[in-house]
Chain A
Amino acid sequence: MSQSDLLHHYSQQFNQELEEIRTNVLAMGGLVEQQLEEALRALVSGDVGHGERVVANDYQVNALDVQIDERCTVILARRQPTASDLRLVLVVIKTTADLERIGDEAKRVARMAIRLGTADHSRGLFLEIEHLGTLVRGMLNKALDTYARMDVAAALEVAKEDQRIDREYENVMRQAITYMMEDPRSIPFVLDIIWSARALERIGDRCRNIAEYVIYFVKGKDVRHTNLDQIEEELIRR
Chain B
Amino acid sequence: MGGAKTDIKLIDENGLRFDGRKPDELRPIRIEANVLKRADGSAYLEWGGNKVIAAVYGPRECHPRHMQDPLRAVVQAKYNMASFSVSDRKRPGPDRRSQEISKIISEAFEHVIFTHLFPRTSIDVYMEVLQADAGTRCAALTAASVALADAGIPMRDLVSSCAAGKVQDTIVLDLRKEEDNFGEADMPLGIVPRTGEIVLLQMDGDLTLEEFNKTMSLATEACHKIYELQKDALRRKYGVTDDEDVQESVDAVAESVPDRQEEAEEAFEDEQEES
A and B are interacting partners: no
Interface residues of A (CB under 8 A from B): none
